[in-house]
């Protein structure tokens, strides 16, 4: 009888796995979140880095996320990704790596860095979020940590990872490492750059971070080449295509739903930016590249759409790029954050950043170099920091939440770069500032969660 | 001149002679009674032609004396009378009067008069305390049974279905390519619940066992009650052929009303990119031309009958034939039923063929064998996809602004030259409903076999040893195609799923039955049960199809496979000791110990006892004229139950896809790597069996020679230590953890009242009323504020809190301390607050009223079904309002509208004076940010069933058509009329959550329910 009843082992699941198997699922889930309808579309539209094209028949249509109608699915699915499919699997991989015998320190460190990226992003999306008590099977109702504490926690996690790397050990995630194939030096550089990104987000609210930034700039070892870019490649194979591409392929006969918005296109057109044809498709009838006002109905003969060259099946999802690193460094030099103000160094860095951006988006090397060299010397412009911010934001045009965070941290309310206006059709009131907390999968279930509705127009700690 | 008539009276059910039947010649004092062999002899004076046969426990019958001298009669058992024998748990036949708990029997005749393709629906309104909840009007769609209120946080609490002693599967598995407890996308397609494979024509009787004391012997499986079905068998001495034919017509029961004043568009302007009706007023734009969906320049005109024209009249043909017969030693019955059905939308079909065979033989005086086998093949086509997140969702896209002409859409869904879809808007929501209907027809085919063999050995008269071994298995193939060119899946896709399910069951029972002395009887039953269920699903999603309409994996650029299986075993030993004293005092004690494979070795054995007693006090009362029968019942039971398999150990699951919104996730292997994930539920190795304690008290009273009968039951059931998947905030990294926590107490009353207001020789009026009221109270551990049973969309949840019943929660209007709605001063629109309790999902009470009028051989009955209380959410109503289609959205368009409410100024509230920007904004805000606005009172009064039948008198047949033993014709109607309801345009019974979920009260683009009118012919040869 005992043997007859001893059948309660699920034949379809594993009781032990290599941490790399959890890592791969987590990072693919993370990439999909960032490039799909739950994160990319709401942040790109509400953050106005692209436009819907209003009532254009083959545009995304209004009312939409551009009018701040954010589906509760998007709030809930983003939260679910940060905390379960991505965060919890990374956390479990860390646990498995550290409890293995011998300990797989490198795998633990690799997972910690991605977890820090994930938690940082979660707090930039939602504000105060569970961190110190999250992902713990012994704590059913995690408390919500202040955003500052979450960011500090992410920095601590990165520091721990950096200490944990062990070049002497052959144990690490390599074949399943979709970023760097197990190159620990690239991981170290990513870790430093991610830490710098977090400090740069904090520094305006918490000026004590200036010193840490200075220390980091002195020490160096950031992402230093496009080969260091942290990204996940999609493939032109069914089931592995970039979700942005799939949306256009499956709903719109391959026509891109999204239009270039005035903020981006006007800025680029005025510079005759060589990235324009890489970013946008110009109608044959149009004399030049013209965007559309956010929420306005786009004219197929006038307004540019996002190019299939950008929203291609194989467009990678970028988590951290070399040019992003260079823009931070340019900003640090221009603002003198922990270093003396050095506009010459800043000029070199921001031109290099734009050049790298051009190269990344497929502009040929000579054109990229010429264009970058043609950009004004920062010592000659009225607001050098704003110019760096604008270039930085334009580079992140297709990176939803990253562009939105860049915009929010670019200046105090009303003085951000660019100076966004309320999109047509958006409810009167302040600009969009965040996702609201998801009700069903967190707020309603967690007695430690804030009970008052925090509106999407409310600023969070780092957002001045 | 007097004649001498002879004959035999037998029981309709078993063909055995009935002794003691009173035989009277109508209009005279001549009377006789049948002997032990059922035979009678009576003198009939000339001029008298009618004999009346009556016996306690049987329905009285009149027979006409023809030219012959022999009148044989078979009497049917009277469900309301005493002396009735019912099949109780484990197939034990017991006299109703001996039971200490309430049972309700529905005879097969009841089920075949107005035939339902899903037998579960036939119970609606007929049994006190039993609620039927059908998911949709989809052909073959699923129905859920809730007995005495939901008793589980975790499952839908479906009763156990037992057919001839074999527990069979009643699953309603979802097939989804996205995981989640909400039936979304393809999982919203209603493929039915598998109890619908039971053929109502094969059912002799259906007994509803409601309480734990009644089902205790079944063990854990029947903690939610049991439906014990006995199938028809050959009747001794009556070799016959029975033919039953029904033709029925179905049409939509309720169509939402659509406004016919305003055209497609937004903010008053015509816009063919939207399906909203916020466009111009038709009367304002007469004489002007606008481009329609075909690109033609047309005037805008109203088409008020679009929704009605969309739905057609469905047809159903149910034909069954059975052959049966028996002699002293053997009996057999062979039945075949064909059901051919077409739905109320084009391309929707259901085809069901059921064959059953049941035979028994006495090998010797002591040894008897019996076997039954049932094979059902069901093929459904064109099941609509409900809910959301699937390009094939149909309902919603067919409710169109009035300027559309549905006939034009029907005739122009495909471009004859390019074979491409002609969409009704150029935007991403523009699928032509007829493209979906004609191309994306979901199909399922179920092949199901169940049957058992029973060996009975009776070495001595007081000892019976029997073994009942049976199996039930089915394979279901589901196929959901999405043709290339469907917006949302332009490159085409299909899902193919095979679901396999098997139940194996063996019961070995020894029965000792002896009169200890003239007053005291003892019956002892001991048994052993071995039970195994196994289910397996293999499903594949194929994407990017190359050759149009070729649904083969070789035609797909990508195929994502998923498979899973689960197995569970229970071993049980049980016993039942029954004592009877002088046929009026009865006591039963039962005990069962189960060992379940799903719990740890330390926790997997659990025992549950029950005690029940019946006292027929009228037996010891002096003879009187007012009380003909009186009985008291009392019972107590404590039952335990296990959980689902594989809930104890932490395990990692290989992932076939990584999610991305709009259904475009990535499949693994991705760039050469596989992916695994932790479970979404934290398992619990310490899981204990859950425990249910219940008491039931009741009485049965019959007055004035059975003209009034009353059955009253009070029950109180507490299910504690529930095995629940406690929802966790996802910041834990998990969605749930499995724990033993919380309890649900259901207490209530059930009243069944039978009246015979009029009883004349030729005319009888029977009035049967059943009433049930259940109060559910949940208790949660103090650290759990609330528990979500099921989630809907946009913040809607079915949840519980301590001290309350299952309820719908969601966003509600913000109100000031005086209850006024708070308006946003910036917009003039209402403000909302999240996570408010909006009401109970279950009704306060339910009632069924059945009137039967019999005149000679005519019979007319109608059943009114009433539900009072509880709420429902209708997404269809929300969508229609949001898109300006509902008639109420016509008001104030173009006018200044100031919503009634208050504006907060500092800490005070002043009456609102801020007008809304537009009615489009108003209704948009009204429906999209708020759950409360689409919540309705779910009460209803329905005319559930009407039957009219005429039975050709046997005397007439004997004279004119001797080859016929019986001929009956009838007109039947089901779900005829929603007499009263509070939900605009929607059947208040619609429920998105299928039979597998305990979610209720949420309608989400559900396929509408139908009204049925049909004709029935029954012939017995």
> In this structure, what CATH number is given to the domain that contains residue B62?
2.60.40.1120
- The verdict on a CB contact (< 8 Å) between A57 and B794 is no
Question: What was the pLDDT predicted at B663?
Answer: 67
Query: What does the block give as tokens for B812?
Result: 């509600």
- The verdict on a CB contact (< 8 Å) between A250 and B678 is no
Provide mean pLDDT across the span B343-367.
93
Residue among B554, B556, B661, B918 with most chain A CBs within 10 A, to mutate? B661
A452: three-class secondary structure by DSSP: coil
Nearest CA in chain A to B273: A57
pLDDT above 80: residue A93: yes
Contact of B567 with chain A, judged by CB distance below 8 Å, is answered with: yes
Query: What does the block give as tokens for B722?
Result: 């529930």
Strand ranges across the sheet with B73-75: B39-44, B3-11, B73-75
Question: What was the pLDDT predicted at B25?
Answer: 87
> Is residue B81 situated within a structural domain?
no
Q: Which residues of A touch B674 (CB under 8 A)?
A: 21, 24
- The verdict on a CB contact (< 8 Å) between A257 and B428 is yes
8-state DSSP, A384: H
Residues B496 and B378 in one domain: yes
Q: What percent of chain A stands above pLDDT 90?
A: 91
Nearest CA in chain B to A74: B661
Nearest CA in chain B to A238: B558
Contact of B878 with chain A, judged by CB distance below 8 Å, is answered with: no
pLDDT band at B901 (very low <50, low <70, confident <90, very high): very high
B845-855 and B858-868 strand pairing: antiparallel
- The verdict on a CB contact (< 8 Å) between A443 and B835 is yes
Q: How many residues does chain A have?
A: 464
Residues B863 and B1008 in one domain: yes
Question: What was the pLDDT predicted at B322?
Answer: 93
Domain that holds residue B667: 649-682
- The verdict on a CB contact (< 8 Å) between A10 and B566 is yes
Record the pTM: 0.85
Q: A-contacting residues of B 716-735, CB under 8 Å? A: 726-735
Q: What percent of chain A stands above pLDDT 70?
A: 100
> Is residue B428 situated within a structural domain?
no
Provide mean pLDDT across the span A324-351.
97
Q: Which residues of B touch A175 (CB under 8 A)?
A: 672-673
- The verdict on a CB contact (< 8 Å) between B558 and A249 is no
Q: How far apart are CA A385 and CA A397, in angstroms?
A: 18
pLDDT band at B13 (very low <50, low <70, confident <90, very high): low
Nearest CA in chain B to A81: B659
- What does the H/E/C string look like for A247-287? HHHHHCCCCCCCECEHHHHHHHHHHCCCCHHHHEECCCCCC
> Is residue B327 situated within a structural domain?
yes
- The verdict on a CB contact (< 8 Å) between B673 and A176 is yes
Residues B693 and B673 in one domain: no
Residues B974 and B846 in one domain: yes
> Is residue B282 situated within a structural domain?
no
For chain B, what is the mean pLDDT?
87
Q: Which residues of A touch B788 (CB under 8 A)?
A: 440, 444-445
Residues B990 and B907 in one domain: no
Q: A-contacting residues of B 654-693, CB under 8 Å? A: 654-655, 657-662, 664-668, 670-680, 682
- The verdict on a CB contact (< 8 Å) between A83 and B826 is no
Nearest CA in chain A to B786: A445
A184: three-class secondary structure by DSSP: helix
Burial class (CB in 10 A: 0-12, 13-18, 19+), A99: exposed
Residue among A135, A234, A251 with most chain B CBs within 10 A, to mutate? A251
Residue among B664, B790, B809, B827 with most chain A CBs within 10 A, to mutate? B664
Residue B663: how many other CB atoms lie within 10 Å: 26
Query: What does the block give as tokens for B968?
Result: 């009956």
**CB-based contacts of B167, cutoff 8 Å, min separation 6:** B160, B161, B218, B221, B472, B503, B505, B531
- The verdict on a CB contact (< 8 Å) between B731 and A28 is no
Name which of A209-218, A356-365, B861-870 the model is least confident about: B861-870
Question: What was the pLDDT predicted at A306?
Answer: 97
Its ipTM equals 0.95
- The verdict on a CB contact (< 8 Å) between B487 and A134 is no
Residue among B391, B555, B729 with most chain A CBs within 10 A, to mutate? B729
- The verdict on a CB contact (< 8 Å) between A12 and B601 is no
Contact of B783 with chain A, judged by CB distance below 8 Å, is answered with: yes
- The verdict on a CB contact (< 8 Å) between A85 and B659 is yes
- The verdict on a CB contact (< 8 Å) between B273 and A252 is no
Closest CA to A50 of A322, A417, A400, A370: A400
- End residue of a domain, out of B888, B909, B935: B935
Query: What does the block give as tokens for B71?
Result: 């009148």
Distance from CA of B228 to the nearest CA of A (A): 27
Residues B453 and B593 in one domain: yes
Who among B604, B664, B679 is closest to A250 (CB)? Answer: B664
- The verdict on a CB contact (< 8 Å) between B490 and A1 is no
| A74 compared with B35, residue with greater pLDDT | A74
Question: What was the pLDDT predicted at B111?
Answer: 76
Contact of B738 with chain A, judged by CB distance below 8 Å, is answered with: no
Q: Which residues of A touch B266 (CB under 8 A)?
A: 55
CATH number of the CATH domain containing B1005: 2.40.170.20
- Quick one: residue A54, left, alpha or beta (phi over 0 = left, psi -120 to 50 = alpha)? left
Who among B660, B667, B735 is closest to A84 (CB)? Answer: B735
Who among A6, A251, A257 is closest to B488 (CB)? Answer: A251
Question: What was the pLDDT predicted at B82?
Answer: 45
Q: Which residues of B touch A130 (CB under 8 A)?
A: 729, 731
Write the pLDDT tens digit of every residue in B661-718: 876 788 999 999 999 999 999 999 998 888 889 999 999 999 988 899 999 999 999 9
pLDDT band at A390 (very low <50, low <70, confident <90, very high): very high
- The verdict on a CB contact (< 8 Å) between A439 and B834 is yes
pLDDT above 80: residue B83: no
> Is residue B825 situated within a structural domain?
yes
- End residue of a domain, out of B935, B951, B967: B935
Provide mean pLDDT across the span B983-989.
88
Name which of A103-107, A274-278, A437-441, B885-889 the model is least confident about: A437-441
pLDDT above 70: residue B76: yes
What distance lies between CA A449 and its chain's CA centroid? 25
Q: A-contacting residues of B 509-528, CB under 8 Å? A: none
Write the pLDDT tens digit of every residue in B125-154: 778 888 777 767 778 777 888 888 777 777
pLDDT above 70: residue B348: yes
Distance from CA of B292 to the nearest CA of A (A): 13
Question: What was the pLDDT predicted at B81?
Answer: 45
Question: What was the pLDDT predicted at B49?
Answer: 82
Closest CA to A215 of A195, A201, A229, A230: A195
> Is residue B271 situated within a structural domain?
no
Question: What was the pLDDT predicted at A238?
Answer: 86
Residues B535 and B594 in one domain: yes
The domain tally of chain B equals 4
Cα dihedral A164, A168, A170, A174 sign: positive
Write the pLDDT tens digit of every residue in B159-209: 889 999 899 888 877 776 555 555 555 667 788 888 888 888 899 888 888
Q: A-contacting residues of B 895-934, CB under 8 Å? A: 924, 928
Nearest CA in chain B to A59: B427
pLDDT above 50: residue B534: yes
The residue with tokens 């991610």 is: A194
Residue B982: how many other CB atoms lie within 10 Å: 12
- End residue of a domain, out of B913, B935, B957: B935
Q: How far apart are CA B844 and CA B840, in angstroms?
A: 9
Residue among A1, A2, A5 with most chain B CBs within 10 A, to mutate? A5
Who among B646, B735, B799 is closest to A10 (CB)? Answer: B646
Residues B801 and B704 in one domain: yes
- The verdict on a CB contact (< 8 Å) between B729 and A130 is yes
Q: What percent of chain B stands above pLDDT 70?
A: 96
Residues B709 and B758 in one domain: yes
Most distant CA pair in chain A, distance: 87
Closest CA to B922 of B818, B819, B795, B824: B824
Output phi, psi for B866, to 5 deg: -125, 135
Residues B548 and B691 in one domain: yes
Question: What was the pLDDT predicted at B387?
Answer: 67
Instruction: Find the angle CA(B119)-CA(B123)-CA(B124) to the nearest 5 degrees.
Output: 115
Write the pLDDT tens digit of every residue in A144-170: 999 999 999 999 999 999 999 999 999
Write the pLDDT tens digit of every residue in B619-671: 888 878 888 889 999 999 988 888 889 989 999 999 988 988 876 788 999 99
Q: A-contacting residues of B 359-418, CB under 8 Å? A: none
Question: What was the pLDDT predicted at B114?
Answer: 62
Residues B669 and B546 in one domain: no
> Is residue B432 situated within a structural domain?
no
Residues B905 and B1013 in one domain: no
Distance from CA of B529 to the nearest CA of A (A): 12
Q: How far apart are CA B993 and CA B14, in angstroms?
A: 41
> Is residue B294 situated within a structural domain?
no
Write the pLDDT tens digit of every residue in B456-467: 999 998 999 999
């Amino acid at each position: 009888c005992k043997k007859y009843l001893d059948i309660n082992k699920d034949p379809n699941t594993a009781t032990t796995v290599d941490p790399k198997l959890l890592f791969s699922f987590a990072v693919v889930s993370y990439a999909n979140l960032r490039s799909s309808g739950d994160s990319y579309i709401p942040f790109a539209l509400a953050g106005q880095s692209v436009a819907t094209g209003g009532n254009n028949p083959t545009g995304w249509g209004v009312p939409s996320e551009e009018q701040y109608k954010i589906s509760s699915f998007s709030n809930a699915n983003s939260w679910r990704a940060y905390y379960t499919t991505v965060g919890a699997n990374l956390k479990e991989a860390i646990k498995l790596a550290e409890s293995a015998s011998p300990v797989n320190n490198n795998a633990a460190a690799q997972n910690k860095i991605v977890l820090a990226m994930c938690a940082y992003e979660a707090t930039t999306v939602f504000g105060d979020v569970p961190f110190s008590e999250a992902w713990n099977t012994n704590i059913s109702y995690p408390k919500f940590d202040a955003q500052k504490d979450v960011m500090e926690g992410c920095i601590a996690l990165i520091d721990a990872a950096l200490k944990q790397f062990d070049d002497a050990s052959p144990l690490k995630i390599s074949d399943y490492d979709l970023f760097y194939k197990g190159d620990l030096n690239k991981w170290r550089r990513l870790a430093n750059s991610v830490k710098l990104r977090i400090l740069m987000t904090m520094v305006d609210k918490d000026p004590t971070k200036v010193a840490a930034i200075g220390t980091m700039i002195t020490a160096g070892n950031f992402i230093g080449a496009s080969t260091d870019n942290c990204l996940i490649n999609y493939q032109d194979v069914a089931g592995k295509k970039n979700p942005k591409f799939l949306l256009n392929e499956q709903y719109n006969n391959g026509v891109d739903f999204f239009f270039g918005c005035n903020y981006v296109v006007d800025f680029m057109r005025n510079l005759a930016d060589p990235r324009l044809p890489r970013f946008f498709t110009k109608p044959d009838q149009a004399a030049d590249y013209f965007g559309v006002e956010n929420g306005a109905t786009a004219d197929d003969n006038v307004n540019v759409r996002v190019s299939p060259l950008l929203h291609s099946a194989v467009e990678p999802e970028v988590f951290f790029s070399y040019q992003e690193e260079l823009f931070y460094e340019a900003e640090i030099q221009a603002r003198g954050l922990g270093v003396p103000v050095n506009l010459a160094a800043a000029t070199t860095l921001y031109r290099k950043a734009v050049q790298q951006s051009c190269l990344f988006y497929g502009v040929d090397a000579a054109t990229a170099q010429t264009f970058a060299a043609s950009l004004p010397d920062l010592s000659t412009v009225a607001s050098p920091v704003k110019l760096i911010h604008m270039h930085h934001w334009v580079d992140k045009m297709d990176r939803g939440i990253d562009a939105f965070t860049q915009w929010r941290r670019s200046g105090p309310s009303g003085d951000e770069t660019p100076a966004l206006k309320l999109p047509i059709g958006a409810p009167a009131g302040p600009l969009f500032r965040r996702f609201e907390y998801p009700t069903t999968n967190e707020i309603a279930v967690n007695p430690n969660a804030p009970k008052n509705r925090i509106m999407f127009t409310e600023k969070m700690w780092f957002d001045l | 001149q007097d004649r001498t008539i002879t004959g035999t009276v037998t029981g309709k059910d078993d063909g055995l002679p009935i002794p003691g039947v009173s035989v009277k010649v109508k209009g005279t004092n001549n009377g006789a009674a049948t002997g032990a062999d059922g035979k009678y002899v009576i003198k009939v004076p000339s001029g008298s032609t009618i004999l009346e046969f009556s016996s306690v426990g049987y329905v009285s019958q009149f027979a006409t004396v023809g030219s012959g001298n022999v009148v044989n009669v078979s009497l049917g058992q009277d469900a309301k009378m005493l002396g009735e024998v019912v099949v109780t748990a484990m197939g034990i036949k017991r006299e109703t009067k001996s039971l200490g708990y309430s049972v309700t029997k529905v005879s097969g005749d009841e089920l075949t008069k107005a035939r339902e393709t899903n037998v579960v629906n036939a119970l609606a309104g007929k049994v006190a305390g039993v609620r039927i909840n059908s998911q949709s009007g989809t052909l073959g769609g699923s129905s859920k049974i809730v007995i005495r209120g939901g008793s589980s946080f975790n499952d839908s609490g479906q009763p156990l279905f037992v057919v001839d002693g074999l527990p069979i599967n009643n699953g309603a598995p979802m097939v989804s390519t996205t995981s989640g407890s909400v039936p979304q996308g393809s999982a919203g397609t209603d493929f039915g619940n598998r109890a619908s494979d039971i053929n109502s024509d094969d059912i002799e009787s259906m007994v509803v066992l409601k309480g734990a004391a009644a089902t205790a012997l079944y063990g854990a499986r029947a903690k939610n009650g049991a439906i014990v079905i006995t199938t028809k068998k050959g009747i001794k001495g009556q070799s016959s052929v029975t033919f039953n034919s029904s033709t029925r017509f179905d049409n939509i029961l309720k169509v939402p009303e659509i406004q016919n004043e305003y055209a497609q568009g937004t903010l008053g302007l015509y816009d063919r990119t939207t399906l909203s009706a916020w466009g111009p007023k038709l009367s304002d734009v007469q004489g002007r031309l606008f481009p329609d969906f075909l690109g033609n320049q047309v005037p805008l005109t109203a088409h008020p009958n679009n929704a009605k024209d969309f739905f057609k009249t469905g047809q159903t043909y149910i034909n069954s034939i059975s052959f049966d017969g028996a002699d002293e030693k053997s009996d057999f019955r062979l039945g075949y039923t064909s059901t051919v059905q077409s739905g109320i939308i084009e391309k929707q079909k259901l085809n069901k063929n059921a064959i059953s065979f049941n035979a028994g033989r006495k090998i010797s005086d002591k040894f008897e064998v019996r076997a039954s086998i049932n094979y059902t093949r069901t093929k459904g086509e064109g099941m609509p996809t409900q809910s959301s997140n699937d390009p094939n969702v149909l309902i919603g896209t067919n409710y169109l602004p009035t300027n559309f002409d549905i006939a034009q859409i029907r005739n122009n869904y495909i471009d004859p030259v390019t074979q491409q879809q002609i969409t009704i808007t150029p935007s991403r929501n523009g699928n032509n409903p007829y493209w979906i209907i004609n191309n994306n027809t979901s199909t399922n085919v179920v092949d199901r076999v169940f049957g058992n063999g029973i060996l009975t050995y009776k070495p001595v008269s007081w000892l019976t040893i029997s073994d009942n071994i049976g199996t039930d298995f089915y394979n279901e193939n589901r196929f959901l195609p999405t043709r290339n060119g469907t917006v949302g899946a332009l490159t085409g896709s299909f899902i193919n799923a095979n679901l396999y399910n098997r139940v194996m069951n063996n019961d070995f029972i020894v029965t000792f039955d002896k009169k200890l002395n003239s007053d005291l009887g003892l019956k002892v039953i001991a048994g052993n049960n071995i039970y195994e269920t196994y289910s397996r699903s293999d499903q594949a999603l194929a994407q990017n199809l190359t050759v149009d309409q070729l649904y083969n994996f070789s035609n797909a650029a990508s195929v994502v496979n998923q498979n899973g299986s689960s197995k569970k075993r229970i071993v049980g030993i049980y016993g039942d000791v029954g004592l009877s004293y002088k046929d009026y005092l009865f006591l039963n004690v039962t005990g069962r110990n189960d060992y379940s494979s799903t719990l740890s070795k330390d926790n997997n054995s659990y025992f549950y006892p029950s005690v029940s007693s019946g006292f027929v006090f009228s037996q010891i009362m002096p003879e009187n004229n007012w009380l003909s029968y009186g009985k008291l019942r009392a019972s107590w039971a404590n039952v335990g139950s296990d959980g689902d398999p594989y809930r104890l150990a932490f395990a990692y699951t290989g992932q076939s896809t990584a999610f991305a919104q709009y259904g475009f996730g990535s499949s693994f292997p991705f760039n050469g790597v596989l992916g695994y994930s932790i479970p979404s539920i934290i398992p619990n190795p310490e899981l204990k069996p859950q425990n249910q304690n219940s008491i039931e008290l009741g009485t049965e009273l019959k007055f004035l020679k059975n003209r009034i009968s009353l059955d009253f039951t009070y029950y109180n059931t507490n299910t504690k230590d529930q095995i629940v998947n406690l929802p966790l905030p996802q910041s834990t990294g998990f969605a749930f953890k499995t724990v033993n926590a919380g309890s649900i107490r259901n207490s209530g009353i059930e009243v069944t009242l039978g009246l015979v207001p009029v009883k004349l020789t030729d005319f009888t009026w029977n009035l049967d009323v059943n009433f049930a009221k259940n109060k559910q109270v949940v208790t949660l551990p103090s650290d759990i504020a609330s528990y979500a049973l099921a989630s809907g969309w946009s913040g809607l949840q079915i949840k519980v809190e301590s001290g309350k019943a299952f309820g719908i929660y969601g966003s509600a209007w913000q109100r000031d301390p005086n209850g006024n709605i708070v308006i946003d001063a910036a917009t003039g629109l209402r403000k909302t607050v999240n996570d408010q309790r909006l009401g109970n999902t279950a009704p306060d009470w339910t009632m069924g009223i059945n009137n039967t009028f019999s005149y000679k051989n005519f019979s007319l009955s109608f059943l009114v079904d009433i539900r009072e209380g509880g709420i429902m959410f209708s997404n269809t109503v929300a969508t229609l309002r949001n898109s300006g289609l509902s008639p109420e959205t016509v008001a104030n368009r173009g006018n200044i509208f100031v919503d009634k409410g208050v504006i907060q100024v500092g800490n005070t509230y002043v009456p609102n004076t801020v007008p809304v920007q537009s009615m489009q904004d108003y209704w948009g805000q009204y429906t999209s940010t708020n759950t409360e606005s689409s919540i309705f009172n779910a009460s209803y009064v329905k005319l559930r069933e009407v039957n009219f039948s005429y039975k050709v008198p046997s005397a007439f047949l004997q004279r004119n058509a001797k080859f016929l033993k019986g001929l009956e014709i009838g007109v039947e109607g089901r779900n005829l009329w929603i007499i009263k309801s509070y939900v605009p345009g929607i059947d208040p019974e619609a429920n998105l959550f299928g039979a597998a979920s305990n979610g209720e009260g949420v309608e989400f683009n559900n396929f509408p329910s139908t009204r049925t009118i049909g004709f029935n012919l029954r012939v017995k040869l």
